[in-house]
Amino acid sequence: MVFDYGGGITTNTFKNNTVSGSGGYGVLVEAGKQNPDVLNVANNNTFSSNTSGTAIVK
- Give pLDDT tens digits for 1-57: 666 656 555 566 788 999 999 999 998 887 777 677 888 888 899 999 999 999 888
Report pLDDT for 56. Answer: 87
Q: What's the total number of domains in the chain?
A: 1
Report pLDDT for 7. Answer: 58
Report pLDDT for 22. Answer: 94
Q: Which amino acid is at 27?
A: V
**pTM summary value:** 0.73
Q: Are 54 and 27 in contact, with CB atoms under 8 Å apart?
A: yes
Report pLDDT for 1. Answer: 66
Q: Which domain holds residue 8?
A: 2-57
DSSP state of 33: S
